């Protein structure tokens, strides 16, 4: 109850912040150069941060002459991303606080309930009920792969490493999410038919809610601008017609062929230094006091045997499931289990197995944490570091010969330190850029592992490409959102606002004029 009270206070605070910020933006004089542009923002009710961001960006679009409106999910069934099966009084609170936000900020709203979303509900329910469990992932409605979204949403709800098909409650949630997806598809199609928006703005489209909106819009030939938080604090990433921020490559193919200038190198080097304590990042995962005694003792043993040292970095299981493409291993857990079995027979390679500290930050249920996939009796040459250990990656970089990862941006940091990195082969945004080893099969993966351990491997990471990619990923694609400062969970309006709006202006130009969402941090 206390958490609910605090979250609603935060909601109210940002509601009034939004009113103040929108007024400041709309009061700035500018010629209206956009005609007949109707933009529909789709934040849902669950995230006040999304509501705030999109209302501010909407004001900037309004100032340029665009007609803006907001989509509100106001149905009561609970299988919806990041609200889930809340008690009805909680759901009503989210709905009414969302309504208050729209009224206070004088925003036009399309409520889903008013666009006949249940037109096909009986047929939909019969079809879902008749679908066998092993076919739920293939479920389609109006050519939308709703079954895949439903599984992703269910995994995100349970924070599980993979679909829990032997869990009746999990299966029920998948079916409920499918139903929600079908209802959203029908209602949103009716909104498009009646209101005729030219552009949709929404958050990452990999779950039921935004995923279905994205597909319905694209099937109707409507452009969708998708955004998400960037790695660095108070920045956002935007993409044209890409459903998920971490994967699109945008201008990278041309960017990799030019050299970073001195300003860019200085910006990058300063940021790399800050990565150790994460002071400039969206999330801080480590406290000040770290005890490295266990690591140091393990390294001493390895050096006494003249053995090579590696570190295997895991990820959050549900996140790894959502973002791994075309991996030789079925899941991160399967990769971890098979790799450990292989490492047991390699006594001349000392390996640190490091659990991801974000398991604590995201409150992953204990039964789904990586430690449950680690054997109880590890040999002396393998050390497991659990998610609570407060061991910083940068400390480990200085003591290892190579790294092993499934999906993790630590590979870029290791490459910058000239450390070879072997990936599981999962096709991620940093794959195939010559600073990681990216096997295409299990056989190739284990051969690379043997070669790295024995010293036969001749792989050297391309440090210059790694630098360019980190600058591109962490700066060129990271657009400052100047209307809000987030520090240690507290929200404030920056003193420089509204004088500094270069990031918000760039986002606005991207939305209304389809300009590139690329920011120049050297100006």
SS3 of 7-75: HHHHHHHHHHHHHHHHHHHHHCCCCCCCCCCEEEEECCCCCHHHHHHHHHHHHHHHHCCCEEEEEECCC
Query: How far is it, in rounded angstroms, from Cα 157 to Cα 207?
Result: 11
Identify the CA nearest to 400 among candidates 409, 390, 413: 413
Size (the chain), residues: 523
Residue 64 in tokens: 């340029």
Radius of gyration of the chain (CA): 24
Write out pLDDT tens, residues 95-137: 788 888 999 999 999 999 999 999 999 999 999 999 999 999 9
Q: Are 421 and 414 in contact (CB under 8 A)?
A: yes
Average pLDDT, stretch 499-511? Answer: 93
Cis peptide before 35 (omega within 30 of 0): no
CATH code at position 322: 3.40.50.12580
Bridge-based pairing of strands 109-111 and 199-203 is unpaired
Q: Do residues 90 and 36 both lie within one domain?
A: yes
Q: Do residues 502 and 440 both lie within one domain?
A: no
Residue 104 lies in a domain: yes
Tell me, what's the pLDDT at 96?
81
Q: Do residues 374 and 405 both lie within one domain?
A: yes
The band of 348, judged by pLDDT with boundaries at 50, 70 and 90, is very high
Write out pLDDT tens, residues 429-446: 888 899 999 999 999 999
Q: Do residues 104 and 218 both lie within one domain?
A: yes
Q: What's the distance, Cα to Cα, between the start and end of the chain in Å?
A: 47
Q: Do residues 353 and 394 both lie within one domain?
A: yes
Q: Do residues 204 and 328 both lie within one domain?
A: no
Q: Do residues 303 and 435 both lie within one domain?
A: yes
Residue 188 lies in a domain: no
Residue 417 lies in a domain: yes
Q: Do residues 312 and 205 both lie within one domain?
A: no
Identify the CA nearest to 365 among candidates 390, 387, 334, 339: 387
Q: Do residues 267 and 239 both lie within one domain?
A: no
Residue 518 lies in a domain: no
Residue 190 lies in a domain: no
Query: Mean pLDDT for the chain?
Result: 88
Residue 191 in tokens: 């909104």
Identify the CA nearest to 207 among candidates 172, 181, 236, 170: 181
Strand, coil or helix: 410 = helix
Distance of CA 277 to the CA centre of its chain: 21
Give the start-end residues of each E strand in 330-484: 349-354, 382-385, 402-405, 421-423, 479-480
The band of 87, judged by pLDDT with boundaries at 50, 70 and 90, is low
Residue 336 lies in a domain: yes
Residue 39 lies in a domain: yes
Average pLDDT, stretch 325-331? Answer: 83
Answer yes or no: is pLDDT of 244 > 80.
Answer: no
Identify the CA nearest to 400 among candidates 378, 379, 385: 385
The band of 358, judged by pLDDT with boundaries at 50, 70 and 90, is confident
Read off the pTM: 0.90
Write a three-state SS string for 138-171.
Answer: HCCECCECHHHHHHHHHHHHHCCCCCCCCCHHHH
Identify the CA nearest to 59 among candidates 445, 523, 497: 497
Answer yes or no: is pLDDT of 284 > 60.
Answer: yes
The band of 247, judged by pLDDT with boundaries at 50, 70 and 90, is low
288's CB contacts (< 8 A; 6+ apart) are none
Query: How far is it, in rounded angstroms, from Cα 21 to Cα 464?
Result: 41
Cα separations (Å) of 307 from 102, 331, 388, 459?
Answer: 63, 29, 27, 19
Residue 72 lies in a domain: yes
Q: Do residues 326 and 454 both lie within one domain?
A: yes
Write out pLDDT tens, residues 444-474: 999 999 999 999 999 999 999 999 999 998 8
The band of 2, judged by pLDDT with boundaries at 50, 70 and 90, is very low
Tell me, what's the pLDDT at 295?
95
Question: Residue 361's domain spans which residues?
Answer: 263-471
| Count of the separate structural domains present in the chain | 2
Q: Which of 33-37, 202-206, 245-249 has the lowest mean pLDDT?
A: 245-249
Cα separations (Å) of 511 from 38, 41, 64, 170, 508?
Answer: 11, 11, 11, 38, 5
Query: How far is it, in rounded angstroms, from Cα 490 to Cα 495?
Result: 15
Q: Do residues 443 and 503 both lie within one domain?
A: no
Q: Do residues 325 and 358 both lie within one domain?
A: yes
Write out pLDDT tens, residues 412-429: 999 999 999 999 988 788
Q: Which of 4-18, 53-67, 115-129 has the lowest mean pLDDT?
A: 4-18
């Amino acid at each position: 109850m206390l958490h609910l009270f605090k979250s609603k206070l935060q909601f109210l605070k940002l509601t009034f912040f939004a009113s103040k910020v929108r007024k400041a933006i709309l009061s700035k004089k500018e010629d209206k150069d956009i005609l007949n542009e109707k933009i529909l923002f789709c934040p849902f009710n669950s995230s006040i941060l999304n509501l705030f961001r999109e209302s501010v960006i909407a004001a900037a679009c309004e100032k340029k002459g665009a007609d803006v409106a907001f989509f509100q999910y106001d149905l009561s069934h609970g299988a919806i991303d990041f609200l889930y099966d809340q008690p009805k009084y909680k759901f009503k609170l989210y709905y009414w606080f969302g309504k208050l936000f729209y009224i206070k900020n004088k925003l036009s709203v399309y409520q889903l309930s008013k666009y006949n979303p249940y037109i096909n509900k009986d047929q939909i329910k019969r079809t879902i009920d008749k679908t066998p469990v092993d076919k739920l992932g293939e479920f389609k409605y109006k050519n939308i792969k709703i079954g895949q979204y439903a599984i992703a949403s269910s995994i995100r709800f349970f924070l599980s490493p993979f679909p829990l098909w032997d869990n009746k409650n999990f299966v029920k949630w998948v079916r409920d999410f499918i139903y929600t997806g079908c209802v959203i598809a029908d209602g949103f199609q009716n909104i498009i038919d009646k209101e005729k928006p030219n552009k949709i703005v929404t958050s990452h489209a990999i779950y039921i809610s935004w995923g279905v909106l994205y597909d319905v819009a694209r099937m109707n030939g409507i452009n969708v601008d998708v955004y998400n938080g960037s790695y660095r604090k108070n920045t956002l990433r935007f993409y044209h017609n890409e459903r998920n921020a971490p994967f699109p490559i945008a201008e990278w193919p041309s960017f990799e062929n030019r050299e970073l200038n001195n300003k860019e190198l200085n910006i990058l080097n300063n940021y790399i230094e800050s990565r150790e304590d994460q002071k400039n990042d969206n999330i801080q995962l480590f406290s000040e006091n770290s005890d490295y005694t266990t690591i140091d003792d393990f390294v001493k043993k390895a050096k006494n045997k003249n053995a090579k040292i590696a570190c295997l970095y895991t990820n959050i299981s549900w996140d790894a499931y959502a973002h791994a493409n075309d991996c030789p291993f079925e899941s991160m857990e399967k990769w971890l289990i098979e790799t450990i079995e292989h490492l047991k027979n390699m006594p001349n390679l000392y390996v640190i197995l490091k659990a991801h500290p974000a398991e604590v930050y995201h409150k992953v249920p204990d039964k789904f944490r990586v430690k449950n996939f680690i054997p109880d009796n590890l040999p002396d040459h393998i050390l497991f570091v659990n998610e609570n250990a407060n061991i910083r990656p940068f400390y480990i970089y200085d003591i290892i010969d190579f790294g092993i990862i499934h999906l993790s941006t630590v590979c870029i940091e290791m490459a910058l330190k000239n450390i070879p990195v072997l990936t599981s082969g999962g096709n991620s945004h940093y794959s195939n850029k010559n600073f990681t080893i990216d096997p295409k099969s299990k056989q190739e993966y284990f051969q690379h592992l043997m070669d790295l351990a024995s010293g036969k491997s001749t792989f050297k990471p391309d440090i210059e490409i790694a630098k360019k990619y980190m600058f591109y990923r962490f700066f060129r694609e990271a657009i400052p959102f100047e209307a809000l400062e987030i520090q240690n969970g507290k929200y404030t309006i920056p003193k420089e606002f509204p004088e500094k709006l270069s990031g918000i202006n760039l986002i606005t130009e991207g939305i209304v004029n389809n300009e590139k969402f690329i920011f120049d941090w050297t100006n």
